Amino acid sequence: MTDRIRQVTMEDLDRVTQVEAVCFPPAEAAGKEAFRARIEGFPESFFVAEKDGAIIGFINGAVTDERTIRDAMFEDASLHDPEGCYQSIFGLDVAPEWQHRGIAGELMRHMIKDARRRGCKGLILTCKDRLIGFYERFGYKSLGVSASVHGGAVWYDMILEFSE
């Protein structure tokens, strides 16, 4: 269990970058400047999980009218459209020593609840095949192989649409 989940601030930049670097291979990890742009661009959909005052995980993504994530969105925070219908998930990270305790689930449920509160129609993400089952538990459905070639990997498009 996290102590709390709160909105990101620019003071979190170094720690967030550090957690990303241990969670993803270099070709896939977002760097400090990408995180700076995301924190500036869409702090309202960027949340960190804290334990004893330290950040142990986070979730973030821009809002868009598109039903799938395009690679350009990862690098260009200005594509964030606050009036868009779908909350995207660019990244869900939990520091390795805190994994397997339900922290990612807490972060995802927080993001889903918040997107619903803001009036979004649903959420979208891309993931590797091994995590499709993990996201299906929250109500996401696979749309098949994504056009994304991010980091040279094969990704799947997933979407969760609110029923009302």
Ligand X SMILES: CC(C)(COP(=O)(O)OP(=O)(O)OC[C@H]1O[C@@H](n2cnc3c(N)ncnc32)[C@H](O)[C@@H]1OP(=O)(O)O)[C@@H](O)C(=O)NCCC(=O)NCCS
* Contacting residues for 67 by C-beta, under 8 A, at least 6 apart: 86, 124, 143, 159
Nearest-approach distance from CB 158 to ligand X, in angstroms: 10
Strands 86-89 and 91-94: unpaired
77 lies in the site for ligand X, by CB under 6 A: no
**Contact range with ligand X by CB under 6 A, out of 6-14, 35-43, 95-103, 155-163:** 95-103
CB 47 within 8 A of CB 66: no
> Of residues 55, 73, 94, 160, which one binds ligand X by CB under 6 A?
94
Position 24 contacts ligand X (CB under 6 A): yes
Sign (positive/negative) of CA torsion 78, 132, 8, 111?
Answer: positive
Q: Minimum distance from CB of 90 to ligand X (Å)?
A: 8
Asked whether position 92 contacts ligand X by CB under 6 A, the answer is yes
The yes or no reply on residue 127 touching ligand X (CB under 6 A) is yes
Q: What would the two tokens of residue 163 be? A: 């029923």
Angle at 108 between CA 139 and CA 24, to 5 degrees: 110
Residues that bind ligand X (CB under 6 A): 23-24, 91-94, 99-105, 127, 130-131, 134
